[in-house]
């Protein structure tokens, strides 16, 4: 082949490839409307989230974005008239989890769904009551597409399963109402023991259960539907203990049941308002000796934190797979010494989750990218997600009125001034700093379980916590910390086991 023909062939190849590449993507535009039946519920300001998934099930709004098969796009909209069809296209300023935008969607078949996040003042996450959504629409992206999505559904309010041993509790918190300058309610569900109704003069010990991340008071429903548990719970042999299921909702995600500069005095509200009122209302003994706290994951961290910070309020915590108890090992990040949360010192992406054999599932960067899309500030700070909630609890308030981010939401660069503020909530630092006074108040009260292949690397910080407690003197810690090889996150958590162990402790006290 001579040079002229070679150049001609190369040019044709480039043109052909360019044409082929162009055929492999398409533009998507959207027309969003509100169904007539929902117009009275529709609010004109909010955040529009559009979900694309290559799979029909689960619905796109519930699909994981960490496997490369589902994607989220988010944009704030204002002054949207309920009778107006809103036209959205790729030139709009979207936050997104994908590397491509609506002007260059890879060709294929997608299931597309819209969520109108309009209820932010009531709840911190998008798939929560009061928000609107469309039915999924199947789109085959061959050429330019105009996709019509109609908001036909509203996420319903939560309800509790009806059962004679289930009660709903709600009260306005004066502390939180004053902080936010608007009414703020506290909610909980109550599981009564089998003998409660037949013993009207008897008072009972209480267990406060804290949910895993974002868990609501309605998680009692899963226990009521569990035939094996309920068969045991309604038997004569079951522990006669009241369980209160605390609500995890807060203004920036899970409230973590503690005071913070951003969410307000949730610790004060729990200790000084909810607990006294609920114990008065449900014939609870109301003594520290008869009061216990437990939970797994977020609930594991909160239950341990409550026992440490309010040692005289509770007579024991059962903490399973708690969130990082020291921030030198915040999963795989040392917030005090590392420069970047996304990449380690060798330039590798830090994983956030693994399976029990060590295979990474997704990275912290992927996690934050998704939270940036969910957040109305286009950052994880307002996402209502896990990192957003950690950040709201541990960080100081910024000049914009929002929590200051511990790291840059795009680059992952850690803010050392914010990291200094996190030390206040570092449970290892707190325990070590207060041990002479704190240690005697914790005798017999700390029960911790951790899988040694925790899916979120939480065993690393717990090893440091365990090592410290084993080194203590005056007094020597008697904390029970159990590590189980080849076990993952919360895999050994059991309501029945915890209730049985609390009952055993109560029996030993008699």
Q: Residue 145: what pLDDT?
A: 83
Report for 17-21, 66-70, 441-445: range of highest mean pLDDT: 441-445
| Integer Cα distance of 164 and 78 in angstroms | 46
Instruction: Give 414-461 pLDDT, tens digit per residue.
Output: 999 999 999 999 999 999 999 999 999 999 999 999 999 999 999 999
User: What confidence category does residue 293 fall into, taking pLDDT thresholds of 50, 70 and 90?
Assistant: very high
Pairing of β 46-53 and β 28-34 = unpaired
Q: Residue 240: what pLDDT?
A: 97
Q: Residue 97: what pLDDT?
A: 96
Higher-confidence residue of 13 and 440: namely 440
Mean of the per-residue pLDDT values of the chain: 94
User: What confidence category does residue 89 fall into, taking pLDDT thresholds of 50, 70 and 90?
Assistant: confident
Residues of the chain with CATH 2.60.40: 26-154
User: What confidence category does residue 198 fall into, taking pLDDT thresholds of 50, 70 and 90?
Assistant: very high
Looking at the domain covering 26-154, what would its CATH class be? mainly beta
Residue tagged 């380690």 (tokens): 344
Q: 40: which DSSP letter?
A: T
Which neighbouring-strand residues pair with 48? 75, 116
Q: Residue 36: what pLDDT?
A: 97
Q: Does pLDDT of 92 surpass 90?
A: no
Instruction: Give 102-131 pLDDT, tens digit per residue.
Output: 999 999 999 999 999 999 887 889 989 999
Residue 274, both tokens: 């909810």
Q: Residue 5: what pLDDT?
A: 46
Instruction: Give 222-246 pLDDT, tens digit per residue.
Output: 999 999 999 999 998 999 999 999 9
| Integer Cα distance of 340 and 440 in angstroms | 39
Instruction: Give 483-493 pLDDT, tens digit per residue.
Output: 999 999 999 99
Angle formed at CA 273 by CA 268 and CA 274, multiple of 5 degrees = 105
Cβ 194 vs Cβ 164: under 8 Å: no
Share of the chain above pLDDT 70, in %: 95
Q: Residue 12: what pLDDT?
A: 39
b/e per residue 225-245 (b: at least 16 CB within 10 A): eeeebbebbeeeebbbbbbbb
| Integer Cα distance of 71 and 88 in angstroms | 17
Q: Does pLDDT of 22 surpass 60?
A: no
Residues of the chain with CATH 3.40.50.1820: 166-326+426-509
Q: Residue 26: what pLDDT?
A: 87
Q: What is the mean pLDDT of residues 301-311?
A: 98
Q: Residue 18: what pLDDT?
A: 41
Question: What phi and psi values does residue 193 have, to the nearest 5 degrees?
Answer: -75, 165
Cβ 213 vs Cβ 248: under 8 Å: yes
Q: Which residues, 6+ apart, have CB-to-CB distance to 174 below 8 Å?
A: 273
Instruction: Give 355-383 pLDDT, tens digit per residue.
Output: 999 999 999 999 999 999 999 999 999 99
Q: Residue 341: what pLDDT?
A: 98
Looking at the domain covering 166-326+426-509, what would its CATH class be? alpha beta
The pTM of the full predicted model, rounded to 2 decimals, is: 0.94
Residue 265, both tokens: 């005095």
Alpha carbon of 177 to those of 185, 186, 265, 266, 272: distances in Å? 8, 11, 10, 11, 14
């Amino acid at each position: 082949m001579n040079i002229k023909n070679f150049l001609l062939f190369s040019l044709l190849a480039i043109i052909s490839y360019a044409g082929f590449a162009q055929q492999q993507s398409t533009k998507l535009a959207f027309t969003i409307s509100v169904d007539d039946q929902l117009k009275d519920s529709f609010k004109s300001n909010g955040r529009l989230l559009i979900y694309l998934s290559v799979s029909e099930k689960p619905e796109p709004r519930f699909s994981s974005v960490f496997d490369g098969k589902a994607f989220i796009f988010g944009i704030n909209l204002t002054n949207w008239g309920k009778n107006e069809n809103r036209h959205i296209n790729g030139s709009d300023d979207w936050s997104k989890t994908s590397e491509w935008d609506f002007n260059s969607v890879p060709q294929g078949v997608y299931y597309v769904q819209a969520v109108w996040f309009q209820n932010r003042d009531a709840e911190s996450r998008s798939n929560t009551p009061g928000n609107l959504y469309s039915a999924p629409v199947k789109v085959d992206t061959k050429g330019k597409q105009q996709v019509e999505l109609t908001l036909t559904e509203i996420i319903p309010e939560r309800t509790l399963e009806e059962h004679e041993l289930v009660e709903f509790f709600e009260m306005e918190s004066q502390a939180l109402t004053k902080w936010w300058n608007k009414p703020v309610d506290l909610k909980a569900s109550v599981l009564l023991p089998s003998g409660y109704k037949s013993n009207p003069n008897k008072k009972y010990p209480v267990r406060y259960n804290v949910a895993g991340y974002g868990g609501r008071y309605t998680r009692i429903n899963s226990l009521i539907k569990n035939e094996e548990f309920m068969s045991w719970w309604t038997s004569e042999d079951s522990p006669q203990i009241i369980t209160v299921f605390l609500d995890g909702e807060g203004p920036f995600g899970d409230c973590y049941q503690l005071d913070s500069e951003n969410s307000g005095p949730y610790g004060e509200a729990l200790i000084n308002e909810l607990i006294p009122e609920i114990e008065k209302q449900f014939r609870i003994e109301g003594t520290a000796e008869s009061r216990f706290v437990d939970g797994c994951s977020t609930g594991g961290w909160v239950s341990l934190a409550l026992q440490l910070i309010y040692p005289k309020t509770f007579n024991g915590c059962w903490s399973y797979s708690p969130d990082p108890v020291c921030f030198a090992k915040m999963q795989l990040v040392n917030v005090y010494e590392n420069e970047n949360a996304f990449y380690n010192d060798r330039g590798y992406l830090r994983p956030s989750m693994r399976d029990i054999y060590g295979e990474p599932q997704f990275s912290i960067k992927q996690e934050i990218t998704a939270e940036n899309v969910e957040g109305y500030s286009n950052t994880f700070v307002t996402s209502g997600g896990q990192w957003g909630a950690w950040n709201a609890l541990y960080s100081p308030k910024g000049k914009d009125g929002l929590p200051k981010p511990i790291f840059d939401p795009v680059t992952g660069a850690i803010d050392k001034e914010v990291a200094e503020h996190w030390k206040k909530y570092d449970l290892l630092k707190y325990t070590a700093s207060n041990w002479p006074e704190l240690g005697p108040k914790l005798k017999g009260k700390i029960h911790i379980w951790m899988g040694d292949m925790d899916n979120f690397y939480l065993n690393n910080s717990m090893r440091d916590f365990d090592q410290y407690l084993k080194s203590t003197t005056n007094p020597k810690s008697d904390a029970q910390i159990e590590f189980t090889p080849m076990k993952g996150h919360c895999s050994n958590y059991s309501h029945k086991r915890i209730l049985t162990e609390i009952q055993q402790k109560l029996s030993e006290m008699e």
